[in-house]
Amino acid sequence: MNRIAKIVLFAAVLQLPALISFAQLRINMGENSPLRKLQMAEVATANLYVDSVDEQKLVEDAICGMLEKLDPHSQYATAKEVKQMNEPLNGNFEGIGVQFNMIDDTLMVIQPVTNGPSEKVGIIAGDRIVSVNDSAIAGVKMSKEEIMRRLRGPKGTKVVLGVVRTGIKDRLTFTVERDKIPVHSIDAAYIIRPAVGYIRIGNFGATTHDEFREAVQRLQASGMESLVLDLQENGGGYLQAAVQIANELLARDELIVYTEGRRVPRQEYRAQGNGLFTKGKIVVLIDEYTASAAEIVTGAVQDQDRGFVVGRRSFGKGLVQRPIDLPDGSMIRLTIAHYYTPSGRCIQKPYEKGNQKDYAMDVYNRLKKGELTNQDSIHFADSLRFQTLHKQRTVYGGGGIMPDYFVPLDTTRYTPFHRQLAAKSVVIQQNLRYVDNHRRELKKRYPDFALFKQQFEVPQSLVDDILAEGRKQKIEPKDDAELQRTLPYLRLQLKALIARDLWDMSEYFSVFNEENAIVRKALEIIQ
């Protein structure tokens, strides 16, 4: 398909029913057709313009221009962007299988993926990868993206890694055969209190349902009777994954969500009654960054009176995008319908077509208006009142999901000083150095996480190193009061990061959640 056909095809799709196949397209190319006009403009510009033009970019800019006049979520993505966008949702990528971070311009392995290609050849946490196929990647100011490009590759291909290991004088060499590496969407799953399980979902991808079922079964085997489902900062993902998760929680034939659009008839999604956790208490946690598929699950639990929702009003992304794949690997994600909760609430918050700036600033504007810190600052019109389906409790539409229990944002804990230290990577870099220097000692002293959580205290020397590095980079608290406000949360963050580096993300959240106000409110409700 040439560039002209590509732009004409897209323009035609804007006028056709969402479910029509491209084989059925009959493009009106009459003399007065808008498509004819579009084609002539492209041909004229490409052939007659005074300077040479990038015709590919010309077409892409035209597509983007059309989409910008629509809703905030209809968008165009290049082939490269499509691949990057899909990777977290597809459930895997192909590479060597390590979690890593950069320290002093060197790639340091945080954890090799369990049973992954790197672990199989003997690469361990703390190793520094300094070369790839005899090309240096350490000390050469190479970007993280370029390093990832060199490490990743098709399954079955081999890569030779040069590794420096603490306590070993000579450089080590490992030949790693690349393989499919799983990308998990469940961030954490553990027993947070006796008989109370905690599961945090990071996004809704291709493997989320299988991961969730495995987590529920494991926690039930450990005595879980109630569930805290954490969807804070979950930006959404696949509709089908959200439906599958809700199906695990709801009774047979209960409505989960329905979609409807100008050219798309109403389509309902209902629970099949075969879920793993259709009994027992549930509390869903949300915040202002909970969006899309995460709001579908939240709305279903709330409207069906299956459990309570705790936190702050969610983002309000209730537009259904249909992906339209183009021949060169690029993609248009075109909005074709709205999501509605079982009670009939539209999840999508209001927006002005073409005004992307105001839409992007919505969370900031909520903060300015006091919505994130004071429940009384949130006002709903009577026309936005809805009733839950079993207990007839009042819930509100108008964009996002309003929780049953509001937990204000604590704006005092995360100080400007702490924010600057984090933004300049001072906290993460000093934490990596500490774990690198004390890994063996820490593992010996704390052979299991329970002992670590109970007894470990962040050493003052690590805090001092962070403050000293901050001073080097001219990052200092404005006064002693700000420093004292910073230290408790900084210590908590450091302990959580050390737990992550020694174990995994469940242990990270296990530390952090003890001071998370939304989690603590959920536990109060359940208990």
pLDDT tens readout for residues 183-217: 789 999 999 999 999 999 999 998 999 999 999 99
Average pLDDT over residues 44-63: 87
Between strands 226-230 and 282-286, the pairing is parallel
Average pLDDT over residues 29-58: 83
Q: What is the mean pLDDT of the chain?
A: 88
Where residue 289 falls among pLDDT bands split at 50, 70, 90? very high
Per DSSP, the three-state class of 219 is helix
Q: What is the Cα–Cα distance from 5 to 22, expressed in whole angstroms?
A: 12
pLDDT of amino acid 13: 43
What are the DSSP calls for 302-346, one per residue? HHTTSSEEEES------EEEEEEE-TTS-EEEEEEEEEE-TTS-B
The pTM of the full predicted model, rounded to 2 decimals, is 0.83
Residue 24 in this model has a pLDDT that exceeds 50: no
pLDDT of amino acid 166: 77
Query: Tell me: the pLDDT tens digits for 328-383?
Result: 888 998 999 999 999 999 999 988 887 777 787 888 889 899 999 998 888 888 88
Of residues 320 and 393, the one with the higher pLDDT is 393
Q: What is the Cα–Cα distance from 54 to 46, expressed in whole angstroms?
A: 8
pLDDT of amino acid 62: 86
Residue 28 in this model has a pLDDT that exceeds 80: no
Average pLDDT over residues 150-165: 89
**Residue 31 identity (one-letter amino acid):** E
Decide if 303 is catalytic: yes
Where residue 127 falls among pLDDT bands split at 50, 70, 90? confident
Where residue 45 falls among pLDDT bands split at 50, 70, 90? confident
Where residue 465 falls among pLDDT bands split at 50, 70, 90? very high
Average pLDDT over residues 451-467: 96
pLDDT of amino acid 99: 80
Where residue 447 falls among pLDDT bands split at 50, 70, 90? very high
Where residue 89 falls among pLDDT bands split at 50, 70, 90? low
Decide if 292 is catalytic: yes
Marked catalytic residue, from 71, 187, 226, 317? 317
pLDDT of amino acid 374: 92
Residue 88 in this model has a pLDDT that exceeds 70: no
pLDDT of amino acid 157: 92
Decide if 118 is catalytic: no
Marked catalytic residue, from 71, 187, 287, 303? 303
- 497's enclosing H/E stretch is helix 480-502
Query: Own/partner pairs for 466-474, CB < 8 Å, 24+ apart?
Result: 466/421, 466/426, 466/427, 466/430, 466/490, 469/426, 469/429, 469/430, 470/417, 470/420, 470/421, 470/424, 470/426, 473/424, 473/426
Marked catalytic residue, from 74, 118, 185, 292? 292
Share of the chain above pLDDT 70, in %: 93
Residue 4 in this model has a pLDDT that exceeds 70: no
